[in-house]
Amino acid sequence: MIYLSIHEEKCTGCRACEFACSYHHRRLFNPRLASLHILRNEREGTISIVPWNNLTQKEKEQRLPCDGCHGEPEPLCVKFCFTGAIAKKDEEL
């Protein structure tokens, strides 16, 4: 588990973080397994970044829990966020 610094206004909704997260967990690509969820509202042009802690219980059951990218040199959702919408906070749990 890591603390993420979220800047939704910078998010483009490309979902690379979800793809990268599923790669960390299973070495395959499936955004529905990711420990975070990107929600796009295309009517309003808004995007929500929902990290593991803020997911609903139901979503947590369907997805894989965030392990802070254990074993990776850096959290992959941070590495593959091209705009800085997801950054790592210094403190860790």
Partner 1 sequence: MRNYKVEDRAYCFGGKILRVDLTSGQIWTEQTRKYSPRFLGGRGIDNWILYNEVKSWVTPFEPANRLLFGTGVLVGTLALTAARHTVDAKSPMTGGIGSANSCGHFSAELKFAGYDHIVFQGRSRRPAYLWIDDNRVKLMDASHIWGKTTYVTDDIIKEELADDEIQVACIGPAGENLVRSACVMTNRARAAGRCGLGAVMGSKNLKAVAVRGSGSIEVAYPERFMEAVNKAWEKLRASESATIRSKWGTYRTPSLYNERGHLGARYFQDDYVSPKIIKSVDPAIFKRDYEVRRLGYTCCPISCSHFYRVTDGPYKGIACEGFEVNDLLNFVARFEIDYPPAIIALHSLCSEYGLDQDNASCAIGWAFECYQRGIITDADTDGLSLEWGDHRAVAELLRKVAYREGLGDLLAEGAKRAAEVVGRESEDFAVHVKGQDSIESMRGSGRAWALGCVVSTRGGTHTRGANLIEGMQVPSEVCQKIWGIPKLDGPLSYENKASLVVYYERLQAVLDSLGICMFCSNWAGVELLDPDDLAELYSAATATEIDGEGLMVVGERIHNIEKAFNVLHAGFTRRDDQPPKRFIEEPIKSGPMRGEKLTKEGWDRMLDEYYELHDWDKETGWQKRKCLEALDLKSVADDLEKAGRLPQCN
User: Residues in the site for partner 1, rule: CB under 8 A?
Assistant: 9, 11-16, 19-20, 22-23, 26-33, 39-40, 42-45, 47, 80, 82-83
CB of 42 to partner 1, least distance (A): 5
d(CA 51, CA 59): 11
Nearer CB in complex with partner 1: 43/90: 43
- For residue 81, the SS3 value is coil
At 88, list the tokens: 């790592």
Nearer CB in complex with partner 1: 2/17: 17
Nearer CB in complex with partner 1: 9/91: 9
Q: Which of 58, 48, 65, 45 is nearest to 1 (CA)?
A: 65
Tell me the C-alpha to C-alpha distance, in Å, between residue 3 and each of 55, 60, 84: 14, 17, 15
CB of 20 to partner 1, least distance (A): 6
